[in-house]
A and B are shown apart, each in its own frame.
Chain A
Amino acid sequence: MAMEAIRTERLSKRYGGRRGLDGLDLEVRTGEVFGYLGPNGAGKTTTIRLLLDLIRPTAGSARVLGVDPRAGGVSLRGRIGYLPGDFVVDGRQTGRELLTFLGNLRGGVPRRRIESLAASLDLDLDVRIGRLSRGNRQKVGLVQAFMHSPELLVLDEPSSGLDPLVQQRFLSLVREARAAGQTVFMSSHVLSEVQQSADRVGIIRDGRLVAVEAVERLRERAPRRVEIVFDAPVPSSAFADLPNVRAAEVEGTVLRCLLVGPADPLVKAAARFTTLGLTAGEPDLEELFLTYYDREEGGHAA
């Protein structure tokens, strides 16, 4: 078995004159959950459709489960489960009809497996898909991707449209898959969607991979908005030029800033005054993209 579930070398795709993907070098290890992050239009879906041989690269190559997607053909796709980014199917059929058909294409999936997956996502299989809400339709898509327990799951924006409770159930499906030795490659434009389940995260921007990080490191590095309220006005000079603190602004008794690393210097500086309140926002992915993006641009300029 190949060490990497997915490996691409200088994989590129142009659509006419427009660049979709520009020399992507990506490695997804067998058995890991890999989050593929980037803003809309960055090339996530292009990458995924190249891996499934729905489109062909302009340059470079890809190996999925050790074989070229085009050469692998039918037998390779039998080992993959795929959730399209925009899961649309003929709405006049029920979920059961569709899943039975798709299961048969895969050589038959036990009825009980489909039913237990549907039950775990709280999905009614006997309603016409056209009548389902967007979130419930997405559940049909998840069931068809997971139902045959493939070696590799390729999920394009899997949790879009799911309410938080179902999102948790989806994450437990991902954890089960990982525990069973399956590899999961999932894209998202929101860090919080993948940070709970992914081992590593790759960040793509404008068709290029700008970073691959373990999720823990990424969270440490992602900027957070911090607001501290003091009992009396504080001098802004006290918070200027602190390590890991950016864009510090003092307005009377309130300090607002971006924290981009360990909080210790900021906390020590604040401790010299009497603090009444402290709030820290969730790591801001959009800010994170910008930090990676800025670094890239800076690197090119230097």
Chain B
Amino acid sequence: MLRSVLGKSLWDQRRLLVAWATGVAAVTAIYASFYPSARQSAAQSVRNLPPAFRQAFNVTQMSSPAGYLEATVFTFIVPLLVLLFVAVVGARAIAGDEEAGTLDLLLAHPVSRAQVIGQRFGALVVSTAAVGAAVLIALLVVAGPGELDIPAANLAAMSLHLVLLGVCFGALALAIGAATGRRALVYGGTAAAGPLAYFGNTLAPQLEAVPWLQRLSPFAYYGGGHPLRQGLQLGDAGLLVAAALVLVGLGAVAFTRRDVAV
């Protein structure tokens, strides 16, 4: 673990990672295990909700296993937790070290700034994948007793899309931190981008003037293709990966050009 910046970053955030993976998996398991009882009442209560609300929080198909999981686990709470996680990890990656004053020492070693940001991004990808894997494991464990009749491949596809959504926002957090060196801006930036992208995706269909808005939102490529029902959406996944790489690339360019703060 102490051989590279990537390994060291993972090692340094091991406690954070274990705590988040456990927490997100627990939330997933709890929601998923409520399916049998929720199925009974869902049909009734959904009808009572205003249509706009149903659309915004994706609660239209609560009575099928995939619809239920989408509405409870994958529409809001788990993506939110994953976004918070990648914001924390992305903020630490460059801006956190810089504000703590520990970045000078690393950059005075024979590593380029592009290598540092690249390897920190690699650590972020691995961490996010670990959180995604914890979600998948939780689903596989609960699926039987919870009467969630969804193919494992689709659960895996949904988890992968979740990881890629996280990687995309993590790349944004990392890039803001690399460009500015300030954690407050990382948190501010991701806190603005997250809800904007979320509601851009869910509410855009109702705003007929701006149908293209939805296509700008990473959430459209995360859940828009319904991986729980349709399996892996290669095109969507590719776009999320591409967006992440572009963001990290921009961050690396800005980072390489600027002064490192004391």
- Give chain A's interface residues, CB within 8 Å of chain B: 45, 49, 52, 54-56, 73-75, 77-78, 80, 82, 84, 86-90, 92-93, 97, 100-102, 104-107, 144
Contacts and interface: CB of A to CB of B under 8 A. Distances in A.
B22 interface: no
B2 A54 contact: no
28 contacts: A45-B262, A49-B104, A49-B262, A54-B107, A54-B108, A54-B259, A55-B259, A55-B260, A74-B110, A74-B112, A77-B110, A78-B110, A82-B105, A84-B108, A87-B105, A88-B102, A89-B102, A90-B12, A100-B2, A101-B2, A101-B3, A102-B105, A102-B109, A104-B2, A104-B3, A105-B106, A106-B110, A107-B110
A49 to B, nearest CB: 7
Contacts of B105: 82, 84, 87, 89, 102, 144
B75 to A, nearest CB: 36
B112 to A, nearest CB: 5
Given A90-B102, A102-B109, A54 B260 contact: yes
The CB with the most chain A CB atoms within 10 A, among B8, B101, B106, B108, is that of B108
Given A54-B259, A56-B259, A73 B108 contact: no
Contacts of B262: 45, 49, 86
A93 B110 contact: no
Nearest to A156: B104
Contacts of A80: 108
Contacts of B64: none
Contacts of A92: 12
B8 A101 contact: yes
A55 B110 CA distance: 16
Interface residues of B, number: 21
A84 B104 CA distance: 7
Nearest to B15: A92
A90 B110 CA distance: 20
B192 interface: no
B100 interface: yes
Contacts of A104: 2-4
B196 interface: no
A80 B100 CA distance: 23
Contacts, number: 63
A74 B115 CA distance: 10
Given A74-B112, A104-B4, A54 B102 contact: no
B2 A86 contact: no
Nearest to B7: A101
Given A89-B105, A105-B5, 15 more contacts: A52-B104, A54-B104, A54-B108, A54-B259, A55-B259, A56-B259, A74-B110, A78-B110, A80-B108, A84-B104, A84-B108, A90-B12, A93-B12, A104-B2, A105-B106
Given A56-B259, A93-B12, A97-B2, A105 B104 contact: no
Nearest to B111: A105
A74 B106 CA distance: 12
A82 B108 contact: yes
Interface in B49-103: 100-102
A107 B12 CA distance: 21
B110 A86 contact: no
Nearest to B260: A54
Contacts of B259: 54-56
B260 A105 contact: no
The CB with the most chain B CB atoms within 10 A, among A74, A75, A144, is that of A74
Contact of A106 (B5, B101, B109): B109
B102 to A, nearest CB: 5
Contacts of A89: 102, 105
A49 B112 CA distance: 15
A108 to B, nearest CB: 9
A54 B257 CA distance: 10
Contacts of A54: 104, 107-108, 259-260
Listed from nearest, the 5 A-B pairs whose CB atoms lie closest are: A78-B110, A55-B259, A82-B108, A101-B2, A105-B109
B63 to A, nearest CB: 48
Contacts of B109: 77, 102, 105-106
A74 B111 contact: yes
A52 B106 CA distance: 11
Contacts of B101: 84, 86, 88
Contacts of A84: 101, 104-105, 108
Nearest to A46: B262
